[in-house]
Amino acid sequence: MTDRADAEGRLRARLAEVEERLAAQRRAVDGIVESARDSNADDEHDPEGATLAWERQQAAALAAEAERERDQLLAALDRVAAGTYGVCEVCGRPIPAARLEARPAATRCVEHAR
C-alpha cells in the first residue's frame, strides 16, 4: 500500500515540475507571438511566418498538455485528501504502488487503464 504522505509528497513534487513546464511553455508561446508581430510576417505567403505559426501551435499544444497534467495532479491531491487516492475507479481495487510511482495521477488499475 502507498502511504498517504508519500503519495501527497510525490504528487506535489510532480505538480511543481508541471507548473514550471507550463510557465515555460506559456512564455514560449508569448515569445513566438512577439517575434511574429515584430517580423510583420504573413502566415500564408512568408515561409518564416508559416514556421512561426507552426512553432506557436507546437508550444500551445505542449502548454495545453502541461495544463491537463496539472489538472490531473490537482484532482489526485483531492483524492488523497478524500481518502480515495490509489483506488481504481472501475473495480475499486488498490492500484499497484509501482503504477502510482510511474503515474501518480492514475485513476485506474492496469487492467482498466485505457
Site string for Zn ion, 55-94 (x = CB under 5 A): ---------------------------------x-xx---
Contact call for residue 37 and Zn ion (CB under 5 A): no
Q: Which are the contacts of 66, defined by CB distance < 8 A and separation ≥ 6?
A: 18, 21, 22, 25
At closest approach, how far in Å is the CB of 99 from Zn ion? 11
Q: How many residues would you count in the chain?
A: 114
Cα–Cα distance for residue pair 113/7, rounded to 1 Å: 19
User: Nearer to Zn ion by C-beta: 32 or 88?
Assistant: 88
Contact call for residue 113 and Zn ion (CB under 5 A): no
At closest approach, how far in Å is the CB of 67 from Zn ion? 27
Dig out the grid coordinates for 93 from the structure.
Answer: 481495487
Choose among 69, 49, 68: nearest CA to 57.
Answer: 49
Residues that bind Zn ion (CB under 5 A): 88, 90-91, 109, 112
